[in-house]
Amino acid sequence: MHTIPGRRLIMSLFLVFLLLPIYWLVNMSFKTNTEIVSTMTLWPHQPTIANYMRIFTDESWYSGYINSLKYVIINTVISISVALPAAYAFARYRFLGDKHLFFWLLSNRMAPAAVYALPFFNLYSAIGLFDTPWAVALAHCIFNVPLAVWILEGFVSSVPREIDETAFLDGYSFPRFFIKILVPLIASGIGVAAFFCFMFSWVELLLARTLTATEAKPISAIMTRTVSAAGMDWGLLAAAGVLTIIPGALVIWFVRNYIARGFALGRV
Q: Which of residues 82-111 bind other proteins (CB under 8 A)?
A: 82-83, 85-86, 88-90, 92-96, 98-99, 101, 103, 105-108, 110-111
**H or E stretch including 201?**
helix 187-203
DSSP lists the bridge partners of residue 231 as 228
Query: What's the rounded Cα separation, in Å, for the pair 2 and 248?
Result: 31
Whole-number minimum distance, CB 2 to other proteins, in Å?
6
Q: Is 128 in the site for other proteins (CB under 8 A)?
A: no
Residues 171-210 vs other proteins: string with x where CB under 8 A? -----------------x----------x--xxxxx---x
Whole-number minimum distance, CB 84 to other proteins, in Å?
9
Whole-number minimum distance, CB 57 to other proteins, in Å?
21
95: left (phi over 0), alpha (psi -120 to 50) or beta: beta
Query: What's the rounded Cα separation, in Å, for the pair 241 and 51?
Result: 11
Amino acid at 149: V
Whole-number minimum distance, CB 262 to other proteins, in Å?
8
Whole-number minimum distance, CB 67 to other proteins, in Å?
13
Q: Is 161 in the site for other proteins (CB under 8 A)?
A: yes
Q: Residues of 235-258 as b/e, b for ≥16 C-beta within 10 angstroms?
A: bbbbbbbbbbeeeeeeeeeebeee
Residue with smaller CB distance to other proteins, 6 or 171? 6
Whole-number minimum distance, CB 33 to other proteins, in Å?
10
- Find the binding residues for other proteins in span 49-78 (CB under 8 A): 78
Residue with smaller CB distance to other proteins, 160 or 215? 160
Q: Which of 74, 220, 236, 239 binds other proteins (CB under 8 A)?
A: 220
Half-sphere CA count of 116, side-chain side, radius 13 A: 23
**Stretch touching other proteins by CB under 8 A, among 4-12, 46-54, 59-67:** 4-12
Query: What's the rounded Cα separation, in Å, for the pair 150 and 116?
Result: 22
What's the per-residue H, E or C state across 144-199?
A: HHHHHHHHHHHHHHCCCHHHHHHHHHCCCCHHHHHHHHHHHHCHHHHHHHHHHHHH
